[in-house]
Amino acid sequence: MSGLQLVEWKSLVRHEGNKTLWHVAWSRNAQLVATCGADRSVAVWDAHTGLLLGGIGGGVFERTVRTVDWSAEGTRLALACFDGQVRIFRLERGGGAEATVLRADDRLAGGSHGTQRSVSSGAVVGDGSVGMEMVSECCGGGVRGGADEAGVVARTAAAAAAPIPTDVPTVADDGASAYQLAPYLTLHLVARLEGHESEVKCAAFSPSGTLLATCSRDKTVWIWECGTDGDDATDFECVAVLAGHTQDVKSLTWHPEREMIASASYDNTVRLWCEDLLDGEWYCCATLTGHESTVWSVAFEPLVGDDHEARLLSGGGDGQVVVWRLEEPEADAKTNSEATSAASVTSNASHLTSWNRTREQRWMVEWRVHANADDRGFADEEDEPVYSVDWSPCGRYVAAASADGAVRVYDANTAAMVAQRRHAHRGAEVNCVRFRPRCVVEADLDEAIRTRIAAEAGDEGDREALMLASAGDDGTARLWLLL
Amino acid sequence: MRTWSAPPDNADPVVHAVSRESRSGGLSADAPLTARIFEVIRDIRDPEHPNTLEELAVVTPESVTETSRKRFVDVAFTPTVPHCSMASMIGLCIRKRVADAQLLPCVGAEAATEQKEERGDTRRRLCKLRVHVVEGTHVHWQEITKQLNDKERVLAALENGALRAMVEDCIQHRPPAASDVM
């Protein structure tokens, strides 16, 4: 089996003149992808077809939308905006008159190619007859290389006119088409959370869905309680303002299981914040130093076993990708050394529940790499920042998006680089990388993917493939297969 | 001209006479990139004085350099005084002016083949701008340099209406002060 490579699967393009796209987020069920950026809009795409389903633009946001996050149940979005506010939107099917909607068949303004196609201009449809090499340019060169271009147009137009189904997009049962196109989506504003004194850099729902964490250039992290999935703005209440960082907080991430947050800051540190189980107060339980510049992004290891605490991944302006490990406190270490393996699992489990303020956490660097290691050696061309890192859902790989334009994937345990894609966004800086939340690409997803996976797997039969999404300064989001 | 409510940090700057003849070099199409960049930033007006950055020796032709593999163009500027409160503003003006002139595209062509990617074809890499305060010429030279090279901070600053207006005031192309330069 040859080395892994990142193969471009889809390109999500809206023609707003190459405005920086900052963030891309998969919905929890991996059906939808949301993007947002400096064009002051947020867009929601069907992750299977690359079809633009809806969004908010047209002046609703006066400043950059920096991140977008999905709620646990997948019906709400939290948007972090440079105007200092966090907005919560509810998704609904169908085209409503209330919110500004980007419809898939809009002729998008600013398209330099001036094509007047009325077909879903945001669509990049994988046509099985052409194969993976096809890159569809939406308004520009048309569906390049598409032997079945007329068929593609007809299929999308027909689906666009179809009645609106009421459930989540699914694969069609009759097998006539590889996927069923989702109807238009509308976003309704539920709540506007104010309080941060400057740009909000990140907003993220907890895995449980009961909390929302936000962070800002005002150096603080705020914790909000979310009510049930209702429409009421009073569902959201700020329960903690966490001060400690001495500079902007660039981004944050939730621990997969605990009520715990890691925040990345312009002050070159990562801070971990926990909720004390005794008095319910949030406090800073650790400060991780080791980056030589701004820490841009953090991600926890998904919990894949009980044998160790989730590790932490960080990426920074010093071009480094770092994995941190929690050092077991001495008291538990003594206990573990006397116990059998079964008992040590038990004591670890109790360790998981007993964090409190009196127990100091110490985190150590497990490994670190320079993202552009093979380009180093020129003193005047220092490392370029790593803007975004993420951990694969299976736990085996970590990915890094870099200012040098590359997306790289590393083995999470050996730190070896397993795949890289330079010029991932036409040479532009890559701002965000996110693994698809589910490991296995459904076998019946698309003929083109199945064919390609089979070609790569050879005799190995059914093979898992990982998918990543990235967003870049070229204004596009791209979906990649790790094969 | 905008009037400032606070007194300028340096009420009596040293103003250099700028030779008009030296202008011819940067205008031709095949002039080196560093010269073309200097050409667009030399006439930026200092935020506090009716003089250009060149006249105040904030930037000189030597301020603009290229790295060994042409990955970066560095602009090193010297604030007029070590405690100049407008140093960040000068850096923002330089960035905005170079961006407006579209001398350094931030997006390249679509990758032709995957084979080229594997070789790491560095010739196709884009050239990017770095702006920094000359070491030691400002009390906060490191902090200012860091924020001028944090693209998120720069973007947010230029989205700020008041800051944006000040930057536009400074970079609007205008001829240097009259021949009786003070």
The interface pTM score, or ipTM, of the predicted complex is 0.84
CA distance, residue B16 to nearest chain A CA (Å): 31
Contact A474 B72 (CB under 8 A): no
Q: Coil, helix or strand for A224?
A: strand
> Which residue of chain A has the CA closest to B112?
A426
B162 CB within 8 Å of a chain A CB:
no
**Nearest residue to A415 (alpha-carbon basis) of A370, A385, A383:** A370
What's the CA gap between A158 and A181, in Å, rounded?
Answer: 10
CA distance, residue A361 to nearest chain B CA (Å): 30
What's the CA gap between A124 and A450, in Å, rounded?
Answer: 18
- Residue A470, both tokens: 């990235």
CB-neighbour burial class of residue A334 (10 A; exposed 0-12, middle 13-18, buried 19+): exposed
Domains located in chain A, CATH noted: 6-94+142-482 (2.130.10.10)
Among B68, B117, B153, the residue with its CB nearest the CB of A381 is B68
Out of A238-242, A251-255, A358-362, B176-180, which region has the weakest mean confidence (pLDDT)?
A: B176-180
- For A44, A182, A183, A247, A468, the CA distances from A163, given in Å and listed in that order, are 20, 10, 8, 51, 31
> Which residue of chain A has the CA closest to B127?
A427
Alpha-carbon torsion, ordered B107, B109, B111, B112, to 10 deg: 180
Each residue of A239-286: pLDDT tens digit?
999 999 999 999 999 999 888 999 999 999 999 999 988 888 999 999
Among A38, A82, A422, the residue with its CB nearest the CB of B120 is A422
A311 CB within 8 Å of a chain B CB:
no
Contact B67 A423 (CB under 8 A): no
Each residue of A414-455: pLDDT tens digit?
999 999 999 899 999 999 999 998 765 555 456 666 676 666
Q: Residue B24 belongs to what H/E stretch?
A: none
pLDDT given for residue A283 in this prediction: 94
**Nearest residue to A362 (alpha-carbon basis) of A333, A396, A321:** A333
Contact A423 B72 (CB under 8 A): no
Where does chain B show beta strands of DSSP type E? Answer: 64-66, 72-77, 128-133
In chain A, residues with a C-beta closer than 8 Å to the C-beta of B125 are: 404-405, 427
Each residue of A39-67: pLDDT tens digit?
888 888 888 778 888 778 767 889 999 99
In chain B, residues with a C-beta closer than 8 Å to the C-beta of A18 are: 106-107
CA distance, residue B124 to nearest chain A CA (Å): 8
Contact B146 A199 (CB under 8 A): no
CA distance, residue A250 to nearest chain B CA (Å): 9
- For A9, A107, A177, A183, B168, the CA distances from A156, given in Å and listed in that order, are 19, 15, 11, 11, 45
What's the CA gap between A434 and A254, in Å, rounded?
Answer: 15
